[in-house]
A and B are shown apart, each in its own frame.
Chain A
Amino acid sequence: DTTVKQNPRYKLARVGKPVNLICSQTMNHDTMYWYQKKPNQAPKLLLFYYDKILNREADTFEKFQSSRPNNSFCSLYIGSAGLEYSAMYLCASSRTGLAEQFFGPGTRLTVL
């Protein structure tokens, strides 16, 4: 099974409220990633977990948090959603090193 799953597929949130997105994979991959994709823009890496080590990109460091309670699951947490967070959020996983990333279907977040 090479599927990466994401829940929910669609999320509506109010400005100022928290948002929690979930990703799972059953490929026993070491690394899990979160990307943000806005229309007509490139997918942008937000953070990734290598095993239990979280790496957050410098320009989004304070905006997103994540947890990885076990190898299979990874969450993306927004403490206080703003309008600018409306986007597609893509989760991916890969084995160690320079390897193919397997993507989930994405969660479309709309902040109102």
Chain B
Amino acid sequence: GEQVEQLPSSLIVQEGASVLINCSYTDSASVYFPWYKQEPGKRLQFIIDIRSNMERKQTQRLTLLFDKKTKHLSLHITATQPGDSAIYFCSASKNYGSSGNKLIFGIGTLLSVKP
């Protein structure tokens, strides 16, 4: 079945730095790739997504790049702040029509932003 891998597993940066989180998946039938973050003690929260017919999506300080050929995604966060400290999860889903989406998650990337 589908597997999703994330690298690095953790990273520590100084406030203001940019970070890159990489994600790869195995099932070429996957079409939807949402990212979630989990701040300490809080619930998983959606941050950005991309579909397989797109190459790039940007929202505020987040840029998500998608390469269908290599089955690779990368999340770029600019001007990091201590509030960005969280675990970031990549996920992938096939198109199951109207019945919902079965997300396969990566193991997460722990980001620590030092003031």
A96 near B98 (CB under 8 angstroms)? yes
Q: Give complex CA distance A82, B31 in Å.
A: 36
B89 near A97 (CB under 8 angstroms)? no
Closest residue of chain B to A92 (Cβ to Cβ) is B44
Within the complex, which residue of A42, A48, A105 is in contact with B89, where a contact is CB–CB below 8 Å?
A42
A45 near B99 (CB under 8 angstroms)? no
Interface bracket on A: 20 to 34
**Chain B residues positioned under 8 Å from A18 (CB to CB):** none
Known A43-B44, A100-B49, A103-B44; judge A30-B105 contact (CB<8 A): no
A101 near B34 (CB under 8 angstroms)? yes
Give B104 Cβ to nearest chain A Cβ, in Å: 7
Judge whether B95 is part of the interface by a CB distance below 8 angstroms.
Answer: yes
**Chain A residues positioned under 8 Å from B108 (CB to CB):** 42
A94 near B101 (CB under 8 angstroms)? yes
A98 near B31 (CB under 8 angstroms)? yes
Give A66 Cβ to nearest chain B Cβ, in Å: 14
Q: How many A-B residue pairs have CB under 8 A?
A: 68
A40 near B107 (CB under 8 angstroms)? yes
Q: Give complex CA distance A97, B32 in Å.
A: 10
B105 near A43 (CB under 8 angstroms)? yes
A101 near B103 (CB under 8 angstroms)? yes
Judge whether A64 is part of the interface by a CB distance below 8 angstroms.
Answer: no
Judge whether A85 is part of the interface by a CB distance below 8 angstroms.
Answer: no
Judge whether A90 is part of the interface by a CB distance below 8 angstroms.
Answer: yes
**Chain B residues positioned under 8 Å from A53 (CB to CB):** 99
**Chain B residues positioned under 8 Å from A57 (CB to CB):** 102
Judge whether B97 is part of the interface by a CB distance below 8 angstroms.
Answer: yes
B residues with CB within 8 A of A:
4, 31-32, 34, 36, 42-46, 49, 51, 89, 93, 95, 97-108
A residues with CB within 8 A of B:
4, 30-31, 33, 40-45, 48, 50, 53, 55, 57, 90, 92, 94, 96-106
A-B contact pairs, 18 of them (CB 8 A): A30-B100, A43-B105, A45-B104, A48-B102, A50-B98, A50-B99, A53-B99, A57-B102, A92-B44, A94-B100, A94-B101, A97-B98, A98-B51, A101-B103, A103-B43, A103-B44, A105-B42, A105-B43
